[in-house]
């Protein structure tokens, strides 16, 4: 099972049309576009495997070891039950400080969950990065007005992901995340 956190912004993909202007039109109102310096955003944790995707967790705070363990308890464990039942699986996460904390390692040992060894600074190896990109592309033309509408759009887009779509998505998880015999 592959996992990661990403951020979605309300203005994602909402760049509007390009404006071509002639010399001297720089301050013409028809040639100006408003922008938001710090658009509303939401941080989301998700997990996927060749069997499908798990439930999303919208994070309200910076992720420390305690927050990460809560996500694991309330979102990763149900996702594992949903995707694998009683079958064994290996969990993947990056090397963020909350993930590599001693307390988090202890949590995994206490729950009997093996964690895939992962190289440092290697986001391009994680198939869920491609999945996040696909979700963001599918949301490109959504126009949420606030964080709640953004969350609803993310949930609706995530709900459309099926194992078949995961297998058909190039570089997403063609043969990755399948249960190993050990």
> 136: closest CA among 20, 1, 4, 14?
14
Asked if residue 30 is part of any domain, the answer here is no
How many domains is the chain built from? Answer: 1
Domain extent at residue 147 = 2-9+39-168
Q: Report pLDDT for 169.
A: 57
Cα–Cα distance measured from residue 125 to residue 173, given in angstroms and rounded to the nearest whole number: 11
pTM: 0.77
Q: What pLDDT, in 10s, does the model give residues 112-125?
A: 999 998 887 776 78
Average pLDDT over residues 5-32: 72
Q: Report pLDDT for 40.
A: 83
The CATH number for 98's domain is 3.30.420.10
Q: Report pLDDT for 18.
A: 60
Asked if residue 182 is part of any domain, the answer here is no
Q: Report pLDDT for 175.
A: 42
Confidence of residue 16 (pLDDT cuts 50, 70, 90): low
Q: What pLDDT, in 10s, does the model give residues 127-182?
A: 899 999 999 999 888 888 889 999 999 999 999 998 888 876 554 444 444 443 33
Asked if residue 64 is part of any domain, the answer here is yes
């Amino acid at each position: 099972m592959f996992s990661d956190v990403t951020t979605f912004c309300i203005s994602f993909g909402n760049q509007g049309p390009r404006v071509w202007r002639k010399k001297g039109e720089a301050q013409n109102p028809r040639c100006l576009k408003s922008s938001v310096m710090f658009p509303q955003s939401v941080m989301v944790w998700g997990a996927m495997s060749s069997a499908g995707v798990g439930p999303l967790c919208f994070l309200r705070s910076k992720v420390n070891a305690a927050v990460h363990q809560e996500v694991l308890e309330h979102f990763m464990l149900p996702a594992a039950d949903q995707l694998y039942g009683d079958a064994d699986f290996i969990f993947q996460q990056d090397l963020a400080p909350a993930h590599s904390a001693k307390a988090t390692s202890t949590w995994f040992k206490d729950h009997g969950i093996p964690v895939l060894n992962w190289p440092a600074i290697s986001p391009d190896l994680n198939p869920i990065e491609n999945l996040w990109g696909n979700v963001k592309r599918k949301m490109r033309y959504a126009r949420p007005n606030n964080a709640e509408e953004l969350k609803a759009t993310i949930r609706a887009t995530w709900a459309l992901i099926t194992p078949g779509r995961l297998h058909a998505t190039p570089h997403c998880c063609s043969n990755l995340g399948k249960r190993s015999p050990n």
